[in-house]
Structure 1
Amino acid sequence: MTTISLDDGALHLDHDGPRDAPVLLLIHGTAASGRSWEPLLPLLTESRRVVRIDLLGCGRSAKPTGASYAVEDQARRVAAVLDRLGIEHAVVVGHSSGGLVATALTEQRPDLVTAVALINTGPHMASYYAKEVQLRVASWADLTDDEIREAMRDGFRPGFAIPKDYVDQFRDIDFTVFGATSQALRAYLDEQPLPARLALQGKPLLVLFGAEDQRWRPSSAADYKVVPGVVVEMLPGLGHSPNLEDPPRTAEFLLAFATKHARQAG
């Protein structure tokens, strides 16, 4: 575990696996943290240096009042952390809204990003079809674990037993950060959809999409096919979080992609 202080707050990160191995950077989604990747770690760290960053406002990173939670600023902070670690090249993986940060990082630092993998990242707001869940600060602490599971049910395939650890991460929501982040994500997608952004970058792209996603229309994964050379893999039987629902299947795709496109850590 490492904490790196930046001008607008300290970021927590974990890095596992051989330090001289190619780097796989994992970026979590909204209302989560780097802990959401833990089920994948034993499957990735034999051959990869895996770096997980808690974005500002999330997990064990700082939650400063008045900070910018714009997608571009989150990406800038991630780049600064990798620079501090001396990492020159990384295959970047984003889950859900973490894919927006991965995209912005690619736009800002094409020298750093060798390839991009998106896991259930909606390409544009028109593909979002989740039911709105009303979360209120006043009653949050009184909710039972099962009530929280119900609030986050559409983040997983139907019938999936949501782990207690993920419930605990969800309990850590800072409502100010959650609201600011949600607005920032929408603004980034409204400005330009992800497929158009990534098509301009020319980076290898893997899109994994659970076929039973209840937040983003699975059929929208086809919209990424405008990116030259993209590989789109639909995952039958999985929902919005394949990294938690089926770590072995998810890791198999990620490792094959990373092996094809990785550059040695620098």
Structure 2
Amino acid sequence: MSDSALDLYWESQGPADGETVVLSAGLGGSGQYWAPQLPALRERYRVLVYDHFGTGRSGGEIPEHYTVADMADELEVMLTTAGAERVHLVGHALGGLIGIELARRVPERVGSLFLINAWASPNAHTRRCFSVRRTLLDEAGPAAYLEAQPLFLYPPVWIAENSEWLEQESARALASFPSRNNLLRRMTALQAWQPSAVDLAKVRTGAMVLGSRDDALVPWSCSQELALRLPNASVRLLPVGGHAVNVTEPERVNALLLAHLQRHRLPTHSLKTQEAP
């Protein structure tokens, strides 16, 4: 396992003896992405949020040939450090891929999967979007990259109605923007993750795959295909919400998430927890 697993920033919220829910963000990697879900979860569940290695408060330099499997290894070490033996994994996009990989490699650690706008393999449209994002970063820099980012994440009407919040978010993201190499190597890793049908068939964990019909980055058909390839998955497609649907439609997503957690109850026990770094 990578030494980078030791450098992850994580924190625990909610009752220490509750079922553990892990929230894993997408490409940006920041645990702060899940702010709309935390109030709904932490009253009952022990919620672990973390910043992926090389992002946010975790820091570190991502090595060449970094993979989604490395990210899953890092998460597994974090779970052991946090005293979480078996968890619900909630993942957005890349975070969902990490969850699938973790469930494939150590199925005893993952009691359920809730996958938001994830995929089994990137299609031509998604590859084109990432190519554009790479070009923006290389040729125009982080500020231009972040200015364009809402176009990939949110529906147009929502962008127009939340312009002030988006400006604040862009300023916050720019202040903590990862190194160019870190971001590009994370992009490369997620695009390279293309598990075989046999690999996905081994993931027996109960899963809910949530997609948005107006996702401008990962078409809803990718969520549908992923659900078909996972043996114990169901799919739900929301009519609106964009790629970051848990941000734009938090009440709908939270209701679906809580219902999913109720369907996949885990045994609870007293945990010897450690303080988050």
Scaled by the length of structure 1, the TM-score of the pair is 0.87
CA offsets, 1:49-88, max 9 Å, x none? 1111111011110222537631111111111011111111
Determine which structure has the larger helix proportion and give its number.
2
Q: Which amino acid aligns with 2:89?
A: V
1:213 aligns with 2:226: no
Which blocks of at least 5 consecutive residues in structure 2 are unaligned? Answer: 270-277
- Distance (whole Å) between structure 1 residues aligned to residue 36 and residue 189 of structure 2: 28
The aligned residue for residue 104 of structure 1 is 101
Partner of 1:79: 76
Q: Give the C-alpha shift of residue 111 in structure 1.
A: 1.0
Equivalent positions of 1:89-238 (< 5 A) are 89-126=86-123, 128-129=125-126, 131=129, 132-133=132-133, 134-136=135-137, 139-140=140-141, 143=143, 148-160=146-158, 161=162, 163-164=166-167, 166-168=169-171, 170-171=173-174, 172-189=177-194, 191-192=195-196, 197-223=199-225, 224-238=227-241
User: Is residue 97–residue 121 contact of structure 1 (8 Å, CA) maintained in 2?
Assistant: yes
Residues 129-138 or 210-219, more deviating: 129-138
Give the distance between the partners of 1:199 and 1:218, measured in 2 at CA: 21
1:55 aligns with 2:52: yes
Map of 1:11 onto structure 2:
8
Q: State the distance in 2 between where 1:262 and 1:212 align.
A: 31
Deviates more, 1:61-70 or 1:43-52: 61-70
Pick aligned residue for 1:253 from 251, 256, 259 = 256
Q: Secondary structure at the match of 2:26?
A: coil
Q: What code does the residue aligned with 1:181 have?
A: R
Pairwise CA distance, 1:164 = 4.3
After TM superposition, give the deviation of residue 180 of structure 1 in Å: 0.8
Partners of 2:72 and 2:91 lie apart in 1 by 12
Shift of 1:187: 1.5
Q: Cα deviation per residue 1:225-250 (whole Å; 9 max; x = unaligned)?
A: 23334210101121101111111111
Cα separation, partners in 2 of 1:149 and 1:212, compared to 1, 3 Å: same
1:257 & 1:21 partners in 2: Cα distance? 16
SS in 1 for 2:84: coil
Amino acid across the alignment from 1:247: P
Residues 67 and 45 (structure 1 numbering): CA distance in 2 closer, same or farther, change over 3 Å?
farther
SS at match of 1:53: strand
RMSD: 2.3
CA distance in 1, matches of 2:150, 2:66: 22
Verify the 8 A CA contact 1:21 1:47 in the aligned structure 2.
Answer: yes
Please name the residue that 2:20 is paired with.
23
Contact 1:90–1:265, Cα closer than 8 Å, also in 2: no
1:3 aligned residue: none
Deviation at 1:32, TM superposition (A): 3.7
Cα distance in 2, alignment partners of residues 148 and 62 from structure 1? 19
Q: CA deviation at 1:136?
A: 3.4
The sequence identity of aligned pairs, in percent, is: 25
> 1:135 and 1:228 mapped to 2: Cα distance?
38
Q: 1:154 deviation in Å?
A: 1.1
Gaps of 5+ in 1: 1-5
Cα 1:81–1:67, aligned 2, differ >3 Å: closer, same or farther? farther
Q: 2: distance between equivalents of 1:68 and 1:85? A: 27
C-alpha deviations, 1:106-145, integer Å up to 9, x for none?
Answer: 122111101111000122122643532323367536x37x
Q: Aligned partners of 1:94 and 1:128: how far apart in 2?
A: 21
State the distance in 2 between where 1:55 and 1:187 align. 18
CA distance in 1, matches of 2:266, 2:147: 39
